[in-house]
């Protein structure tokens, strides 16, 4: 293929499709996932430490793209509404109820929030169970919540260095997996609602009387 030749039609359609969907969902979900701050609204993603947010938003955006593509793929198929009801009732609805509690549990025991500037600003950090002996906070007998600021900077790297790397990485994983599963479940539940509405409109259209 020469440099002046255009790619085949399927390739152009594929690249246009995936580019449009990736950009659209990235922009549309940015406030919801925590990538864009909206005054008066705080997303769950914004509560995570800054050094986790970027990776979580990227993976969550990709996972929530899957239900959108699924709806587009099955939009023209005759999917039984009873199957959609069962999927929502017995799979995605229980996940949407249970997973937030699991995430909140891990968030409560693994993450600390430190206020700055008289409570005007705050930062979150994943901490371990015990600080390492060479951590400056240990020598001064300070807890991490009171050590950040007077002794340690607000940089998450300094806080992480006070704990075992394997423990911190494991706790990050326990926080990330429920969050991603929750976002995927939410996207899938909304996709089922959209598919059900499509099926309902199609059924009402087929049942419409034919004019004489």
For residue 24, being part of any structural domain is answered with yes
For residue 102, being part of any structural domain is answered with yes
CB 173 within 8 A of CB 179: no
Beta partners for 114? 123
User: For residue 19, what are the domain limits?
Assistant: 10-108+186-202
For residues 102-109, average pLDDT: 94
Q: Show the tokens assigned to 172.
A: 């990050």
For residue 175, being part of any structural domain is answered with no
Strands of the chain (E only): list them. 111-116, 121-126
- How many separate domains does the chain show? 1
Residue of 208 and 72 predicted with greater confidence: 72
Instruction: Among 6-15, 39-48, 57-66, 152-161, name the most confident range.
Output: 152-161
Q: Show the tokens assigned to 74.
A: 């099955």
Q: Which residue in this structure is represented by tokens 């600003």?
A: 121
For residue 179, being part of any structural domain is answered with no
According to DSSP, residue 161 is labeled T
For residue 89, being part of any structural domain is answered with yes
- pLDDT exceeds 90 at position 144: yes
Q: What is the DSSP string of 99-149?
A: HHHHHHHHHHHHEEEEEEGGGTEEEEEE--SS--TT-HHHHHT--HHHHBT
Rounded Cα gap, residues 135 and 202, in angstroms: 65
Rounded Cα gap, residues 144 and 130, in angstroms: 10
Check residue 171 and give its pLDDT. Answer: 94
Angle at 60 between CA 87 and CA 86, to 5 degrees: 5
For residue 1, being part of any structural domain is answered with no
- pLDDT exceeds 60 at position 1: no
Q: pLDDT tens digits for 18-39?
A: 666 666 666 666 655 665 666 6
For residues 106-114, average pLDDT: 92
Check residue 42 and give its pLDDT. Answer: 66
Instruction: Among 21-25, 64-68, 106-110, 121-125, name the most confident range.
Output: 106-110
Closest CA to 48 of 39, 35, 29: 35
Check residue 28 and give its pLDDT. Answer: 62
Residue of 157 and 45 predicted with greater confidence: 157
CB 44 within 8 A of CB 181: no
Give the pLDDT band of residue 142 (cuts 50, 70, 90). Answer: very high
Check residue 161 and give its pLDDT. Answer: 93
For residue 104, being part of any structural domain is answered with yes
For residue 181, being part of any structural domain is answered with no
Beta partners for 112? 125
Q: Which residue in this structure is represented by tokens 């699991």?
A: 102
Strands of 63-207 (E only): list them. 111-116, 121-126
Instruction: Among 24-28, 71-75, 99-103, name the most confident range.
Output: 99-103
Check residue 69 and give its pLDDT. Answer: 81
According to DSSP, residue 35 is labeled S
Q: Helix 50-74 vs helix 165-207: angle between axes, to the nearest 10 degrees? A: 30
């Amino acid at each position: 293929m020469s440099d002046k030749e255009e790619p085949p039609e399927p390739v152009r359609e594929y690249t246009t499709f995936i580019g449009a969907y990736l950009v659209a969902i990235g922009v549309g979900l940015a406030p919801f996932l925590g990538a864009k701050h909206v005054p008066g609204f705080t997303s769950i993603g914004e509560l995570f430490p800054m050094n986790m947010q970027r990776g979580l938003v990227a993976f969550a955006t990709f996972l929530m793209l899957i239900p959108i593509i699924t709806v587009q793929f099955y939009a023209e198929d005759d999917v039984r509404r009873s199957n959609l009801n069962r999927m929502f009732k017995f799979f995605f609805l229980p996940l949407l109820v249970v997973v937030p509690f699991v995430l909140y549990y891990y968030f409560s025991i693994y993450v600390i929030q430190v206020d700055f500037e008289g409570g005007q600003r705050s930062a979150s950090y994943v901490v371990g169970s015990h600080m390492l002996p060479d951590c400056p906070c240990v020598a001064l007998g300070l807890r991490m919540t009171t050590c950040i600021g007077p002794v340690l900077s607000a940089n998450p790297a300094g806080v992480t260095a006070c704990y075992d790397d394997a423990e911190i990485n494991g706790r990050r994983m326990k926080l990330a997996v429920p969050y991603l599963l929750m976002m995927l479940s939410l996207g899938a539940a909304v996709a089922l609602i959209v598919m059900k509405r499509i099926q309902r409109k199609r059924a009402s259209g087929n049942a419409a009387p034919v004019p004489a």
